[in-house]
Amino acid sequence: MAALFRIPGVRLIGSLLLVIVGYRIVYLWINDNVDPLMNFWIAQGAVYATALFGMVILVGLSGQVSLGNGALMAVGGYGFGVASLAWGLDPFPAVVVSVLLGIGFGLVVGVIAARLRGPYLAGLTLALAVGLPAIANRFPAALGGEEGLFVDVSYPPEQAVTAFGVRLWGPYDLDFPVERWQAWLAGALMFATLFVAVNLARGRQGRIWRAARDNPVAAALCGVNPANAKVLAFTVSSAAAAAAGAAFAQLLGVVSPGAFALGLSLSLLVGVVLGGRSSLTGAFIGAAILVALPQLVVQAAGSGGWDVRVTDNLPTILYGLLVVLVVILAPGGIVGSLTSGWRRLRHRG
């Protein structure tokens, strides 16, 4: 299966089929059969996964540690907010606007970043994560200041949406929960991003990124321009972050500096490290952990009668400790450890 995916044509069509079937049949079926709260979590997970695909390409494949992807999400979120509020665009065109904005922004930052060594890049992206959301405070008229922009959640369309005669979603009835709609949208963006990410990561470009990361000198001798590879990785990851930011805006109903604070960027780093730095599958696992861990702590707190202070801070502490432990004991993350464990088992047997 994995081997088949290395053949370009098979990969393109195979991944397209996978994404369509995965979204239209599996994902939407799940959405239709769970309660609104669960759909909210699913939407949240889809937002994280979308951004984490970008992190896998940036941090894992091209080896650029970024703490700024939360800020890149903010770019997408505000793009979506302005496009739908000020310009009155529908959700889908608004997403296109925010992704284009993400690409443009990623290109600019990527060009600067490609020349930097690890710690400098990490610091630059950190400064972005802290500084960029502050722009909203600078332009309160256009961007809503500290309060943020209230994004119209654009309730599900009146009719079932079809494309090429295939029903994408709907119909809805009067008690159609808004969370299901949010999960639909976030899921659509997640699968679209996955499609792009799989085709880039599994193909020639993936090899180029790895080569430029592991041995830039050798890669340059083989005709690969390591700087270009890094810029492309940054741009793709920024586009993914922007898509995630648009979905996030939809989900929260508001884009504000607080929603895209440093904590979000750090969460993305946690997610990509725990799942497995260079694994797209790991991005799903990382997203699941980011959604589930706080919920588990809340539940444990409920049954254990813990203080709110514990509930508020325990997930953060666990994230930090898990990141440290994973980096020390299993740098490949959960997926990396599973695959190397599996390989060892096969070699023995």
Partner 1 sequence: MVEFGSYLLGGVTSGIIYALLALALVLIYRSSGVVNFAQVGQATITCYIALTVQLRTGSWLLGLVTALIAGVLLGLIVQVFVLRPVRRSDPAGALIASFGVLIALQGVAGLVWSGEFRAFPQPFPDTPLVIGGAALPFSVYNLVTLIAAALLVVFLAWLFNRTDVGLAMRASAHNPEVARLSGVRVGRMIALGWGLAGLVGALAGVLVAPLTLLSPTSFNVLLVFAFTVAVVGGLESPVGAVAIGIFTGVVLSLVTGYTDATNTPLVALALLVISLILKPEGAFGHRATREV
Residue 216 binding partner 1, by CB under 8 A: yes
Which residue's entry shows tokens 């600078």?
138
Residue 221 binding partner 1, by CB under 8 A: no
92-120: b (≥16 Cβ within 10 Å) or e: eebbbbbbebbbbbbeebbeebbeeeeee
Residue 304 binding partner 1, by CB under 8 A: no
Q: Which is nearer to partner 1, 160 or 317 (CB)?
A: 317
Q: Which is nearer to partner 1, 146 or 152 (CB)?
A: 146
Residue 120 binding partner 1, by CB under 8 A: yes
Residue 323 binding partner 1, by CB under 8 A: yes
Binding test (CB under 8 A) with partner 1, winner from 59, 151, 259, 293: 59
Backbone region of residue 66 per phi and psi (left: phi > 0; alpha: psi in -120 to 50; beta: other values): beta
Instruction: Report the candidate in 249, 235, 268 with the shortest Cα–Cα distance to residue 143.
Output: 249
Q: Using alpha carbons only, give the angle 151, 104, 118 rounded to the nearest 5 degrees.
A: 105
Least distance (Å) between residue 19 CB and partner 1: 30
Residue 116 binding partner 1, by CB under 8 A: yes
Piece of the chain touching partner 1 by CB under 8 A; list 38-46, 126-134, 151-159, 200-208: 126-134
Instruction: Report the candidate in 325, 158, 121 with the shortest Cα–Cα distance to residue 237.
Output: 121
Taking each helix axis from N to C end, the angle separating 262-275 and 280-304, rounded to the nearest 10 degrees, works out to 110
What residues from 68 to 107 belong to the interface with partner 1 (CB under 8 A)? none
By CB under 8 A, name the binding residues for partner 1.
Answer: 59, 63, 65, 67, 112, 115-120, 122-124, 126-128, 130-132, 134-135, 137-138, 216-217, 262-263, 266, 269-270, 273, 277, 309-310, 312-324, 327-328, 331
